[in-house]
Structure 1
Amino acid sequence: MSSRQRCARAFAAFLAAALATVSTGAATACAASGRTPAVATTGGATVRTDAGSIRGRITGDQRLFRGIPYAAPPVGALRWASPEPVHPWTGTRQATEAAPRCAQNAEQGAASDAEDCLYLNVTTPARTDARHPLPVLVWVHGGGFFGGAGSDYDARRLAVRGRAIVVTVNYRLGVFGFFAHPALGRDGGDFGLEDQMAALRWTRRNAAAFGGDPRNVTLSGQSAGAFSTCALLTAPAAKGLFDKAIVQSGSCSVNYPKNGLAPGLPPYTPLMPREFAETFGKQSAAALGCATAADVLACLRKTPVNKLLPMTQRFAFPAYGTKVLPRRPADVLSGGDARPVPMIVGHNRDEMRLYVSAAQAQQPIDAARYRELLQDTFGADATRAERAYPASDAVAPALAWANVLTDRGWACPTRDDERTLARRAPVYAYEFADRDAPSVTPPTEGFPMGAAHGSELPYLWTPGRFTAAQQKLSDDMIRYWTAFARTGDPNQKGLPAWPRFDGRNGRTQSLAPGPHGIRSVDLTSARHCDLWAKTS
């Protein structure tokens, strides 16, 4: 079983146990900081940031700076506190090795017990020109809010082929990033999002030192990183920190119906009310013997990392009703109050096959089980759903169930957000549709993964084993993404035209390899969004 499948299964197992017991600023100016301003460069392995000089590495056509601190270590009294400024240093700091992953278990890769983890990485072309600063793309990694690291992503192709500055970020995860407790009040629940905002402020202050344009910053992310990006569109304190946004598989309104994340689970959304997280916080304090302490937070802050890590997946979501997210992000979007910036927004054709494959390993979904799930999930609407998504010799019941969940949980809620966002700013919608993409999990007989959750990532970052047609798709996607980072419009000469999304016609760019694989389509009817608008 792959790490992605383990992650999906682990997250589902956690929710099954946990939900049963619970009801359901403007950029900082250098002058204001009192620091030495960052200094623009035109190449070279040494760069002066506002906190001190760093030395990276030049490798062929790229410059790579790894492990740059953007905030003080969130340890001791700073555990579960807003990120503090990084302490300046003298001399030249080495920036050639990846920093530790933020504390996490092994579901998303290597385990880590590091709390001192607020570092980022910068990749640039080997030569930059201060007279012609490059667009800056800040990447927030996925991983369910409890795993992953910025150093997992090789930004060379985006930076070099796309002529961009790429920043990949670590942020606090799980119990360290999204812990809430009544003792924290509205401060709790979103420390990981605050880290991301601190990284954006660092980027505004220091982009020019790497040859980037601090006035042209695009915030982007996939999965948890996409939910973060969407949430920050609604966060008052994030105003002025980025100019454009790319949301890959994680719009604010994405949600799973009953049985959606796994059979037996109640409805779920990746953004939860603060009171929900506080319930887990109180349970955790009791389990650790801190609930009756004179100072609950002081007791918890003295608790060793290895005692907290087993609880990390209880806090695998940002909270709203906090100082960072005063309102539910989906409500902010639907009310037309999200920050109006140009956006690329999209999803993958077969998002939920990753999760259904994990459920399939537990209990195979045959025709009878498929009908049971439809009936239990949609009640009186089950017959209509089965009529729209029939199982057959060509479409196995498990694949039909995955199609139901993808369209109901991902495609149509994302379409709703695209419509709302497009009323106030340019939106370019996409669906990644390469059903022969290199598999993110070991193959399962009778269950092709298709364009599953995360399968677009190799096309932008570290490449997989591509056919010639897939390599061309990868090259075109990189050109689209970096053209958008440059101008707010993904279109450029030599690429198939990508029409701006118009809520009246729902045009979406389908991204697939081969002749006519990249084309504009209307997915509203193909994904049965009218059906799901009338179905719970």
Structure 2
Amino acid sequence: MSLVPTGSGPVVGRVAGTVRSWRGIAYATAERFGPAGPAPSWAGTRDATAPGPVGVQWTPAGSLTGTEDCLTLDVYAPDDVPGPLPVLFWVHGGAFQTGAAADYDGSVLAAAGPAVVVAVSYRLGPFGFLQLGTAEAPDPSPALTDLLAALDWVGREIAAFGGDPDRITLVGQSAGASLVCALLATSAGQRARAAVAFSVGGPVLEPAEAVDVAARTLHQLGVPRTDLAALRTLPAEAVMAAAATVARESRRQRLGGVVWGPVLDGTVLAVQPAVAVATGALRDTALWFGSCRDEMTMFLQHGSGDAVAVARARVGGARFDRLHAVYAATARPGEDPVQALLTDEMWVQPVWELAQAQVSAGGRAWVSRWDHSPGLPPYDRLGPTHGADNACLWAHPPRFVERPLLARPAADMTDADQAVTAVLHDAVLGMVRAGTPATGELVDWVPYEPAARCTAVFDATSRVESDPAGQRRRAWDTST
């Protein structure tokens, strides 16, 4: 057992092998749709040996699970390693609608670091992102206040767990990557020394977008946004059902009908992350942006019509057609050029732009592409699609771990799985320890810059390439 005092009260964790862990520690509390506030104190010692609660969300089977009282985090630290150690602050993905810290066991990364790993749960879907302000005076997204409260908790408490509050690296994937970028646009997030964002899904929402989604959700509920008391007494099931209806109606406006996300509220989040990067606010923060080669195969299993409609609306029909001609002409054997174009429009273009903005502002950014297909479903069928890198990041070699919230069982890893995972772990932990992912097999991976556009390609044999798919990248510059 491992007893640690915190500002709210002592917590007792467990020791397994060479790693200590404390799970389900309350870092904040909040009323429904309100900002996060300090966690209440407790008397006695709180047991932190079991997974914490998960936020309200739909399961893959279509049932509801979770609780609104979900503002907890998990901490993993190597046993008998002198600190203070650098901190990996993990923000999970899940389309802003699913996931929890409980799905991410950080013991392998903590031991290998050595580092302290913090995995955070935050409010999801309408409970984390419903906009009750106006377009002129938007409210901060509740989930973003959750993550800022978690960062504050780390700043106050992590030293007692062996971590160094002055050496924090933010890491996230998918929605988590977008939230990491949002945090980087805040003063609290800019205290991080480094950040890793895998599969950044786009900018934060403008107020008018968030207000429109909220208006449609509130219409389904039959409650005005100003009646907070009534909104707080609604059953969670009713709120989630209304949100699901709005999502279904939005599939031709937002990929997958994902209507939630942090809002540019003007106070907590005052500028778009891309603006923060371009103006040099992150010049001293090491940044790594990554994407998967075939991100969109995950989203196109039932057809590409909705996704094409979303992309054509964003880039313009004529430009989409010109780009498609380039992708068709450069398609590798067996590649669907529409999938490739949609992947780059949604996931890769933001990476190129953010990396270029960071370099232009005098900072350092690294860019990567994930080409490996993990040997477990659905990647054995869909290839290196969305989340393939995440499966390896959180693997416990020689096994992929179970992901209960995604209903994905554990599985044995192939030799290739283990090889690419070792390189990925080295790179991520290099970022955490020293602010650079250029370690081990990728020691020649230099920061992105216009002349070479150096890109790490993660595969069974990982490598560094200069401007892979350069013809396609250049087409984006010339097809406006």
Q: TM range, normalised to the smaller chain?
A: 0.7 to 0.9
1:461-472 equivalences in 2 (<5 Å): 461-462=394-395, 463-464=399-400, 465-472=412-419
Q: Which one-letter code corresponds to 1:385 in the other structure?
A: H
Kindly report the root-mean-square deviation, in angstroms, between the aligned alpha carbons of the 2 structures: 3.0
Asked if 1:243 is matched to 2:193, the reply is: yes
Q: Which one-letter code corresponds to 1:245 in the other structure?
A: A
Q: Which one-letter code corresponds to 1:180 in the other structure?
A: Q
Tell me how far 1:141 sits from its aligned partner: 0.2
C-alpha separation between the residues in 2 aligned to 1:326 and 1:108? 38
Identify if the C-alpha distance between structure 1 residues 336 and 207 changes in structure 2 by more than 3 Å, giving closer, same or farther: same
What's the counterpart of residue 208 of structure 1? 159
Partner SS state of residue 504, structure 1? coil
Partner residue of 1:414 out of 351, 362, 384: 351
1:177-192 equivalences in 2 (<5 Å): 177-182=128-133, 186=137, 188-192=139-143
Partner residue of 2:464 out of 519, 523, 526: 519
Partner residue of 1:327 out of 271, 275, 278: 271
Q: Is the 8 A contact 1:101 1:114 kept in 2?
A: yes
User: Where does structure 2 lack aligned partners over 5 or more consecutive residues?
Assistant: 247-258, 401-411
C-alpha separation between the residues in 2 aligned to 1:220 and 1:393? 32
Q: Is the 8 A contact 2:26 2:72 kept in 1?
A: yes
User: Where does structure 1 lack aligned partners over 5 or more consecutive residues?
Assistant: 1-43, 255-268
Higher relative contact order (CA 8 A, sep 6+): 1
Identify if the C-alpha distance between structure 1 residues 502 and 377 changes in structure 2 by more than 3 Å, giving closer, same or farther: closer
* 1:40-89 deviation line (CA, Å, top 9, x unaligned): xxxx51111222111111111211211000002x2xxx222211101122
What's the counterpart of residue 366 of structure 2? 428
Partner residue of 1:58 out of 5, 11, 15: 15
Identify if the C-alpha distance between structure 1 residues 126 and 380 changes in structure 2 by more than 3 Å, giving closer, same or farther: closer
Identify if the C-alpha distance between structure 1 residues 184 and 56 changes in structure 2 by more than 3 Å, giving closer, same or farther: farther
Tell me how far 1:164 sits from its aligned partner: 1.0
What's the counterpart of residue 305 of structure 1? 236
What's the counterpart of residue 258 of structure 1? none
Identify if the C-alpha distance between structure 1 residues 490 and 127 changes in structure 2 by more than 3 Å, giving closer, same or farther: same
Tell me how far 1:188 sits from its aligned partner: 2.3
C-alpha separation between the residues in 1 aligned to 2:324 and 2:391? 33
C-alpha separation between the residues in 2 aligned to 1:121 and 1:109? 27
C-alpha separation between the residues in 1 aligned to 2:379 and 2:394? 20
C-alpha separation between the residues in 2 aligned to 1:457 and 1:381? 30
Tell me how far 1:110 sits from its aligned partner: 7.4
Partner residue of 2:215 out of 271, 282, 304: 282
State how many pairs are aligned. Answer: 450
C-alpha separation between the residues in 1 aligned to 2:440 and 2:322? 47
Tell me how far 1:203 sits from its aligned partner: 0.8
C-alpha separation between the residues in 1 aligned to 2:208 and 2:124? 19
* 1:337-396 deviation line (CA, Å, top 9, x unaligned): 456411121111111111122326x99x9xxx99xx89x963266255324324989326
What's the counterpart of residue 433 of structure 2? 486
Larger Rg: 1
1:288-367 equivalences in 2 (<5 Å): 288-291=221-224, 296-312=227-243, 315-338=259-282, 340-359=284-303
What's the counterpart of residue 115 of structure 1? 68
Q: Which one-letter code corresponds to 2:75 in the other structure?
A: V
Percent identity of paired positions between Structure 1 and Structure 2: 29
Q: Which one-letter code corresponds to 1:249 in the other structure?
A: S
Partner SS state of residue 28, structure 2? coil
Single out whichever of 147-156 and 136-145 deviates more from structure 2: 147-156
Q: Is the 8 A contact 2:274 2:357 kept in 1?
A: no
Partner residue of 1:449 out of 382, 398, 407: 382
Tell me how far 1:531 sits from its aligned partner: 0.7
Identify if the C-alpha distance between structure 1 residues 334 and 312 changes in structure 2 by more than 3 Å, giving closer, same or farther: farther
Identify if the C-alpha distance between structure 1 residues 184 and 103 changes in structure 2 by more than 3 Å, giving closer, same or farther: farther
Q: Which one-letter code corresponds to 1:485 in the other structure?
A: V
Identify if the C-alpha distance between structure 1 residues 174 and 504 changes in structure 2 by more than 3 Å, giving closer, same or farther: same
What's the counterpart of residue 437 of structure 1? 374
Q: Which one-letter code corresponds to 2:71 in the other structure?
A: L
Q: Which one-letter code corresponds to 2:374 in the other structure?
A: A
Instruction: With the length of structure 1 as denominator, give the TM-score of the two structures.
Output: 0.77
Identify if the C-alpha distance between structure 1 residues 497 and 310 changes in structure 2 by more than 3 Å, giving closer, same or farther: same
